[in-house]
């Protein structure tokens, strides 16, 4: 199931076309997909840029055309001789702030066409490296269940735009045996965690009431909070600026009743709305 498939399903359940998601999951991946319904779709641009956490399995000893299990195997090199220490050492340079070349089979556009479409048409695609941050990468287990292959279970937190498939590929390259991803589960997007996620079956049972977190509560979870007076809320809801209070980055402004008025950023001594969310 693709992320778009999930959106289409929730549109039907919620009985509205105004549904979007906060960051694509590959079809083979499972886990957290943040969905916005109604006015909450306007917050998704911030969710897409949030840091994300994953658990994944890297298979060493095989390379695939897609850098994951969905693609054909293009090279096989026995990996059974690799020590646990060597595997852990190969992952160290892949953490921190790094320049990562995305998988060729990605949604990145090359001259107006998605890279994965070019690859499927038989083209050779080379993408530029991107600066990403992998702030945490832990090895959970090293398994040797299949001769000449080694499966490494990892847990990582990374910036938006990081390709976990590329981590598997680059670890395999560093060890000289090739590597690809066989499992991927997103466990968190920003402060939204897998433990609080609902399954599609859950949503089917409670449709059309599919929203698990009201708009104001979601904003309070995701942004710093500023409480406004009634007059300030009125000014902001009509597009006017407020006095700056020295809060860095976008923050959420709430009216005296606890309603979400806008997402605001400060510049030149004024606080101006990036998105106004107060009901008309």
**Residue 35, SS3?**
strand
Supply 98's token pair: 């790094």
How far is the C-alpha of 163 from the C-alpha of 180, rounded, in Å? 12
Known active-site residue 26: yes
* Cβ-based neighbours of 5, under 8 Å, separated by 6 or more: none
How far is the C-alpha of 132 from the C-alpha of 159, rounded, in Å? 6
**Residue 10, SS3?**
helix
How far is the C-alpha of 275 from the C-alpha of 258, rounded, in Å? 17
DSSP letters, 69-137, are TTSPEEEE---TT--HHHHHHHHGGGSEEEEEPPPSSSS-EETTEEHHHHHHTT----PPPEEEEEEEE
* Catalytic residue of the set 26, 68, 151, 255: 26
Confirm if 165 and 68 have CB atoms less than 8 A apart: yes
How far is the C-alpha of 199 from the C-alpha of 181, rounded, in Å? 24
Q: Where are the alpha helices (DSSP H) in the chain?
A: 3-14, 44-48, 84-91, 115-120, 164-175, 200-206, 215-222, 230-237
Catalytic residues: 26
């Amino acid at each position: 199931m693709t992320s778009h498939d999930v959106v289409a399903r929730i549109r039907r359940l919620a009985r509205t076309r105004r549904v979007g998601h906060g960051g694509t999951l590959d079809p083979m991946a499972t886990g957290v997909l943040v969905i916005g319904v109604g006015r909450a779709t306007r917050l998704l641009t911030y969710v897409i840029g949030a840091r994300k956490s994953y658990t994944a399995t890297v298979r060493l000893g095989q390379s695939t055309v897609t850098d994951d299990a969905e693609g054909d195997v293009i090279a096989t090199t026995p990996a059974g001789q690799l020590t646990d220490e060597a595997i852990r050492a190969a992952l160290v340079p892949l953490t921190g702030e790094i320049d990562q070349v995305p998988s060729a089979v990605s949604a990145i556009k090359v001259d107006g066409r998605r890279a994965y479409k070019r690859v499927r048409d038989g083209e050779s695609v080379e993408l530029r490296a991107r600066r990403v941050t992998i702030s945490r990468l832990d090895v959970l287990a090293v398994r040797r269940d299949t001769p000449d292959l080694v499966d490494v279970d990892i847990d990582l937190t990374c910036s938006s735009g990081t390709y976990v498939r590329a981590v598997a590929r680059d670890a395999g390259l560093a060890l000289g045996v090739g590597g690809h991803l066989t499992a991927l589960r997103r466990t968190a997007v920003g402060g939204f965690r897998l433990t609080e996620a609902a399954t599609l079956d859950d949503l089917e049972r409670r449709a059309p009431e599919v929203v698990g977190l009201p708009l104001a509560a979601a904003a309070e979870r995701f942004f710093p909070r500023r409480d406004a007076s009634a007059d300030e809320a009125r000014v902001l809801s009509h597009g006017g600026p407020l006095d700056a209070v020295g809060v860095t980055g976008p923050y959420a402004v709430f009216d005296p009743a606890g309603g979400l008025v806008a997402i605001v950023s400060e510049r030149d001594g004024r606080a101006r709305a990036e998105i106004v969310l107060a009901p008309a």
